[in-house]
Amino acid sequence: MTQQKVTKAVIPAAGLGTRFLPATKAQPKEMMPVVDKPAIQYVVEEAVRAGIDDILIITGRNKRSLEDHFDRNFELEYYLEQRGKHADVDEVQALAELADIHYVRQGEPLGLGHAVQVARKHVGDHPFVVLLGDDIMSERSPVLEGMLSIYEQYGRSVIALMEMPIEEISAYGCVKPERVADQLVRILDIVEKPQPAEAPSNLGVVGRYVFTPEIFDMLERVQPGVGGEIQLTDAIGMLLAAQTVYGFTFVEGRYDTGKKIDYLRATVELAIERDDLGPEFRAFLSDLVRERGWLDG
């Protein structure tokens, strides 16, 4: 079956980032740098790598620096140009040409489901992708491409899933899966943030979704759930009663930058992978481990 090509992505970025205070008091959490790039740039680049060039970022108050980041900055470009820093000029300019980026404000923080619903007018009657800004995917792990190829095959929604330690499952949406093939399950049920004893499995939803447009009808009807918020997970639960929803399972390359320990992991691992910083940084880390005696006994 030939499916409509997915060309649109929605990135909810309206949250207040309270897990990362005080850094997020006066700057959006999406602008926190991982090595030398703000977290949101990794997410936009991932969408672009997967062939998506129309991106809607759902923002809120105090998020103007996001728009500035993906815009031209003539003063800076002029300054760099004058000093012959042509590579820097190219890098800064390229950000404004990365994709067609649109912005809409959520207004009230009523939950992730509500943030996605705000995208309805822009997305219209088309399939689309949702990428959560807290989750960064390493280039080694082409999850979105894998999900889109499942969408192309079946024409149905696809949710990214990872096995979690069961004691952490209460931080995630959690599914009851039925195996279809390698890395592919059919989702039979989904619950938001269950206690470990009630969890239907240890498969947690991570922040990548491909949706058929019918998700908007479900979001319209969904009632506030966990935390009094309009939950995307609850709308997925309604969707899977109407049409098959698939899960794409994968095992590595995801960093939750909204959590301090994972933010540190992301910074270290992504720096190690870089050609320009990797060799020096790896040497530093192994010296550090040796000096502190972390491997002794």
Q: Which is nearer to ligand G1P, 95 or 112 (CB)?
A: 112
Closest CA to 195 of 175, 166, 223: 166
Does 207 engage in binding with ligand G1P (CB under 6 A)? Answer: yes
**Residue 214: count of CB within 10 angstroms of its CB:** 17
Does 204 engage in binding with ligand G1P (CB under 6 A)? Answer: yes
Closest CA to 246 of 198, 196, 182: 182
Q: Which pair of structure tokens corresponds to residue 34?
A: 């991982």
Does 173 engage in binding with ligand G1P (CB under 6 A)? Answer: yes
Q: What share of the chain is helix, strand, coil (3-state, %, to 5)?
A: 40, 25, 35
Task: Considering only residues 50 through 109, tell me which ones interact with ligand G1P, judged by CB under 6 A.
Answer: none
Does 192 engage in binding with ligand G1P (CB under 6 A)? Answer: yes
* CA distance between the termini of the chain: 59
Task: Considering only residues 98 through 157, tell me which ones interact with ligand G1P, judged by CB under 6 A.
Answer: 112, 132, 134-135
Q: Which is nearer to ligand G1P, 50 or 232 (CB)?
A: 232
Q: For Cα atoms 192, 198, 202, give the angle at the middle one, nearest 5 degrees.
A: 70
Does 194 engage in binding with ligand G1P (CB under 6 A)? Answer: no
Does 172 engage in binding with ligand G1P (CB under 6 A)? Answer: yes
Q: Which is nearer to ligand G1P, 132 or 143 (CB)?
A: 132
In this structure, are residues 147 and 158 in contact, taking their beta carbons and an 8 Å threshold?
Answer: yes
Q: Which is nearer to ligand G1P, 95 or 219 (CB)?
A: 219
- What gap in Å lies between CA 33 and CA 40, rounded to an integer? 9
Q: Which residue is nearest to ligand G1P (CB)?
A: 173
Q: Which of 158, 185, 205, 219 binds ligand G1P (CB under 6 A)?
A: 205
Which parts of this chain interact with ligand G1P (CB under 6 A)?
112, 132, 134-135, 172-173, 192, 204-207, 231-233
